[in-house]
Chain A
Amino acid sequence: MNPQKNILMVDDDEDFLVATKLVLEKSGYNVKTCMSAKECIAILKSIKPDLIILDVMMESDHSGFDLCRELKKDSDTENIPILMLTAIDQKYPLNFAEAAGDEAWLPVEDFVDKPIEARVLVERVHRLLKD
């Protein structure tokens, strides 16, 4: 496992950020967190993480959906894998499992449903970072 890998996490729930950051750090990653899409774009100008963990529901004007599409359009960030988090039920008419990977609609590498257990999240992150 490469301990130097960087993860950027974007979520508007502070408690979740704190909990997840700790779990990922204890699993050997460097984690940077932010709470809005704006902050995320600003951080991406200075650092280039190996993975972005993104929450679907954020500020209404700039949701996780918009942000991931924007990141995939930008040549600087298009190669960074994105793991999307969602609290929307999988049985909801929006089928994330099918939508994930669709260039036009949800161009993310993987997605997980909240609440998620620490072990599952760490495994998904390992897989995406090919550790």
Chain B
Amino acid sequence: MAIITGKPAKPAQGRILIMDSDQETVEKLSRFLRNEGYWVKRAEQTNRFFEKIKNEQIDVIILAVEAWGVKGFDLIPIIKKINRFVPIIVTSADDSMDVAIRVREQGVFFYAIKPLDMNEIRLAVKNALNRKFTFRDGTSAVHRKGITVSDYEDEILDLTQASEILKLSKKMISNLAYKGEIPASKIGNKWLFIRNQLLEWLRITAAGNQKNYGTLILETMDEGVAVVDRSLRIVSCNTAYLQSLDVPRDRIVGEYCYRVSHRSEVPCDVSTCPVRKAFKTNHPVKSMHISYDDEGNEHYCDIIALPMKDKHGKVNQVLEVVRDNTELYNLHRNLRRIANFFAIESKKTLGPVVMDISALIDRDISKNIPIAKRNEMLLASFCNLKLMQDMIRNYVISYIGETGELQCNKKSTDVCKYVITPVIKQFQPLLRRKRMTIEIDMNESRSVYCDPDLMKIAFCNLIHNAIKYGAKNTTVNCSLCFNRSVFEITVFNIGSGIPHDKLADIFQPFTRYSRYRIRGTGLGLHVVKMIAEMHNGTVEAKSGYIIDGKSVDYDEFHAYKQLYNVFEKNLKRFAKFSLKIANRGIKTKEVRNESSKEYFNG
């Protein structure tokens, strides 16, 4: 990160942060703006950029759409989340309509096409700064008594100003701030306060002390509640309402409700607006609304409008209750998605089983099927049922794991006897069907401190994966390595490999090599990872190509592509998983001293 901190000749007129990966533009812009009398900072990494917005007082941001491979407009919602007041000027070398529309949609202050016209930039920065210090009522901060441009943020107050607002002595405030009862930050030896936080504190404290039960009850409610008058302006609201909209109180009270909740400049139609309907009918109205936040996320809200009658029975105000059901709705939607996904996957897996078995039990059809074929059909059915069994088990294990109820009862275990051999026996029919072999390589046999049942599941998932995605007539290599503190299982297979783009999140739930052709729920490897973590271990995946009998992973292959005189498409691929778990180093008699190999033929 480079910060240009040359002292300007005259007092700084504003702080500008530039984010652009084009060094030439940055140099030119910063030189120009410094000559104009601004403090200019530049960020060269995205995280540094956000740090600066968060921690420093920035008045204007100049952001390039093409910055370090990130689309600049994707950053805008995040910037707004950190500081919603800072004006953003976007620059772009791409003058296409598409970019222009996307940038404008994000609500930026100005959009400039490169090469930059410096006069245009000067004007944009000047106007952005003016807007920043202009309040909603049109008066400028500059004209307000006691506030100067150099104050940057009208929201940050010192001890004197806080004492004026809270009507408390400075000493008292310092004491309260020290105890953490008042929201404040200590910068150097000075206490600083944010105006909105202070007002909020004052209001809540006041609410706690007052005798107005109505306000008090509203404050205790989780739902956002606002009182709206006939002109659709918000008269009052509780803290939950403010939080749901993420807007400070002084921006809401007195504002039109449609501008606050829908960011619209016109009132909603009476047929869709519960508040207007309640005014019209004098009856309570309930409806469901979908609103969007700054980042474009959908919010599903139940809105209840309750007319408030005065003593003459006339409705002058409506109480609007907003219940955000987004989480509930999303939970419901996710549950439905998972249930559907699981239902479809299991029905598809059952498809060939039902077809085969129903054909075998139907005399008309089966009488024409030769014995060898019948056996094949039974074998295929068994393999698919095994797949289903594993799918259901993984589903249950991952569910129990998510809820934190999965038990891990570690004990000294002879892994060969209780994990490896039984699992491989289970897979004999699958191996036979694909004419595959498993080769086990181990340096010695030692007991491992683990949960045998969970290890069996993890190993079973790795082997099942290797068989499912392995090519016919190949060998699955499996090696066990017992070190003093680590026990490692490696499973290697030749077949479809893991696509390069899937490698990074292959252990995420519902991630599969390919959604098609090979059935599964994408939970197997997730379960392996879960089990590895329960044993203070890790699991890694590698994939790549087989070249001259050697395995070359994707990164290595792409780095030395020229050296390998081969067509990428013609190459066989491999997948390799290593599961490492922490072993307590239990000392038991070594069964084999020399490396030995066992073969399990399908």
Q: What is the interface of chain A, defined by CB distance below 8 A to chain B? A: 12-16, 18-20, 22-23, 26-27, 35, 57-60, 87-89, 92, 114-119, 121-122
Asked if B516 and A12 sit within 8 Å, CB to CB, the answer is yes
Inter-chain pairs besides A19-B359, A26-B365, A114-B348, 5 sampled, C-beta below 8 Å: A16-B355, A23-B359, A60-B516, A116-B355, A119-B358
- Asked whether B288 is an interface residue with its Cβ less than 8 Å from the other chain, the reply is no
Chain B 356-392 residues near chain A, CB threshold 8 A: 356, 358-359, 362, 364-365, 368-369, 373, 377, 380, 383-384
A29 to chain B, nearest CB (A): 12
Can you list 29 pairs linking A and B with CB atoms under 8 Å apart?
Answer: A13-B352, A15-B351, A15-B384, A18-B380, A19-B351, A19-B356, A19-B359, A19-B377, A22-B373, A23-B355, A26-B365, A27-B365, A59-B516, A60-B515, A87-B343, A87-B344, A89-B343, A114-B347, A114-B350, A114-B351, A115-B354, A116-B355, A117-B354, A117-B355, A118-B359, A118-B365, A119-B358, A119-B362, A119-B365
Known: A18-B380, A89-B343, A119-B365. A13 touches B355 (CB 8 A): no
Main SS of the interface on chain A?
loop
Q: Which B residues are CB-close (under 8 A) to A35? A: 517
Q: Give B324-363 as 1s and 0s: 1 = Cβ < 8 Å from A's Cβ atoms.
A: 0000000000000000100110011011111110110010
User: Which of B343, B359, B362 has its CB near the most chain A CB atoms (within 10 A)?
Assistant: B359
- Asked whether B519 is an interface residue with its Cβ less than 8 Å from the other chain, the reply is yes
5 shortest interchain CB distances as A-B pairs = A115-B354, A118-B359, A15-B352, A117-B358, A19-B355
Asked if B348 and A87 sit within 8 Å, CB to CB, the answer is yes
Complex CA distance for A119 and B384, rounded to whole angstroms:
20
Q: Which B residues are CB-close (under 8 A) to A116? A: 351, 354-355
A111 to chain B, nearest CB (A): 14
Q: Which A residues are CB-close (under 8 A) to B353? A: 115
Q: Which B residues are CB-close (under 8 A) to A117? A: 354-355, 358
Q: Which B residues are CB-close (under 8 A) to A115? A: 347, 350-351, 353-355
Asked if B355 and A88 sit within 8 Å, CB to CB, the answer is no
How many B residues have CB within 8 A of the partner chain?
28
Main SS of the interface on chain B?
helix
A109 to chain B, nearest CB (A): 21
Asked if A92 and B340 sit within 8 Å, CB to CB, the answer is yes
Known: A15-B380, A22-B369. A58 touches B516 (CB 8 A): yes
Asked if B351 and A87 sit within 8 Å, CB to CB, the answer is yes
Q: Which B residues are CB-close (under 8 A) to A87? A: 343-344, 347-348, 351
Closest to A35 in B: B517
Closest to A92 in B: B340
Q: Which B residues are CB-close (under 8 A) to A58? A: 516
Complex CA distance for A27 and B516, rounded to whole angstroms:
29
Q: Which A residues are CB-close (under 8 A) to B355? A: 16, 19-20, 23, 115-118, 121
Chain B 505-528 residues near chain A, CB threshold 8 A: 515-517, 519
Q: Which B residues are CB-close (under 8 A) to A13? A: 348, 351-352, 517, 519
User: Which of B351, B368, B384, B515 has its CB near the most chain A CB atoms (within 10 A)?
Assistant: B351
Q: Which A residues are CB-close (under 8 A) to B383? A: 15
Q: Which A residues are CB-close (under 8 A) to B517? A: 12-14, 35
Complex CA distance for A104 and B179, rounded to whole angstroms:
70
User: Which of B365, B377, B515 has its CB near the most chain A CB atoms (within 10 A)?
Assistant: B365
Chain B 75-104 residues near chain A, CB threshold 8 A: none
Complex CA distance for A119 and B373, rounded to whole angstroms:
18
Complex CA distance for A15 and B468, rounded to whole angstroms:
12
Asked if A16 and B352 sit within 8 Å, CB to CB, the answer is yes
Complex CA distance for A116 and B352, rounded to whole angstroms:
9
User: Which of A13, A58, A121 has its CB near the most chain B CB atoms (within 10 A)?
Assistant: A13
Give the contacting residue for A118; candidates B340, B362, B373; CB below 8 A: B362
Closest to A27 in B: B365
Complex CA distance for A89 and B380, rounded to whole angstroms:
24
Complex CA distance for A130 and B584, rounded to whole angstroms:
71
Closest to B380 in A: A15
Complex CA distance for A119 and B358, rounded to whole angstroms:
7
Asked if B356 and A88 sit within 8 Å, CB to CB, the answer is no
A131 to chain B, nearest CB (A): 14
Q: Which B residues are CB-close (under 8 A) to A118? A: 355, 358-359, 362, 365
Complex CA distance for A51 and B340, rounded to whole angstroms:
30
Q: Which A residues are CB-close (under 8 A) to B358? A: 117-119
Q: Which B residues are CB-close (under 8 A) to A18? A: 352, 380
Asked if B352 and A19 sit within 8 Å, CB to CB, the answer is yes
Closest to A15 in B: B352
Known: A23-B365, A57-B344, A58-B516. A16 touches B359 (CB 8 A): no
Complex CA distance for A119 and B364, rounded to whole angstroms:
9
Give the contacting residue for B365; candidates A14, A88, A114, A122; CB below 8 A: A122
Complex CA distance for A88 and B344, rounded to whole angstroms:
6
Complex CA distance for A35 and B355, rounded to whole angstroms:
18
Q: Which A residues are CB-close (under 8 A) to B340? A: 92
Complex CA distance for A26 and B360, rounded to whole angstroms:
12
Closest to A119 in B: B362
Complex CA distance for A13 and B515, rounded to whole angstroms:
11
Complex CA distance for A88 and B365, rounded to whole angstroms:
27
Q: Which A residues are CB-close (under 8 A) to B384? A: 15
Closest to B346 in A: A87
Complex CA distance for A88 and B442, rounded to whole angstroms:
46
B357 to chain A, nearest CB (A): 9
Complex CA distance for A58 and B517, rounded to whole angstroms:
8
Closest to A17 in B: B352
B59 to chain A, nearest CB (A): 47
